[in-house]
Amino acid sequence: MPEPRLVEIAALAGCSWVMVDCEHGAVTTADVGRVLVGAPAGFPVLVRVPAAEEVHVKQALDAGAVGIVCPMAENAAAVRELVTWAKYPPFGTRSVGVGRAHGYGLSFAPYLDRANETTSIVVQIESAAGLAALDDILAVEGLGGVLIGPYDLSASLGHVGVPSAPPVLAAVSEVMSRCNAAGVPVGQFFASGTAYTDSPLPDSLDFIAVGLDTALLAQTIHGHVEHIAASACADGPVPGATVLNIAPAPRG
């Protein structure tokens, strides 16, 4: 959600990084700068861009993201282009602007000095085409990492929404193995912490992304409501108690 306090909460709760999702989430690229303001100093935030387009990359980085995550990487040429957009000359063609990343000009030169070294470009392997092109993608100079998208991968392999299907698990294992062999950091999205700990090869991962803000909120609220309902069934309703309705009262 486009709320800077969510980034701050994630940091306070012990997360080591956060991904702001502009692909499937409610955050637009126009919201990114405001959302990133919630990040404590030094806390890494990556932005998943909605598509592999230069404008999305430079806006996310100028807003202060330490890197970008690009969905649906399917060929090395596109990944090479992403790296070029994200790096300043002479390594790339990133346009030089002044934004939050540059301290609004107050840390302009220091940021330019370190940006090429510290900016991470992560791509998602989440299709059969991405699997087929993986070795070429891993050979792209400047690639920072690979994030496996098991849900889109399940759809691409004919098992829509079932990341636990054996062919999908085999494909995920193959991506991990090939990334490990190439020395490229590899991560995976998991719907929950339990999904991660129950996964067959957690030690093969260098980083993980767990849960969605909206889903975590929905699950927590639902859990409390279910707990109250179950207690009422077992012991009878608590006198005067009802599930809180926060809708405004009608006027008039």
Active site residues: 24
Burial (CB count <10 Å: 0-12, 13-18, 19+), residue 181:
exposed
Expressed in angstroms, the distance from the first to the final Cα of the chain is 33
What number of other Cβ atoms are within 10 A of residue 247's Cβ? 5
Q: How far, in Å, CA of 89 to CA of 183, rounded?
A: 25
Contact 32, 60 (CB under 8 A): yes
Contact 93, 142 (CB under 8 A): no
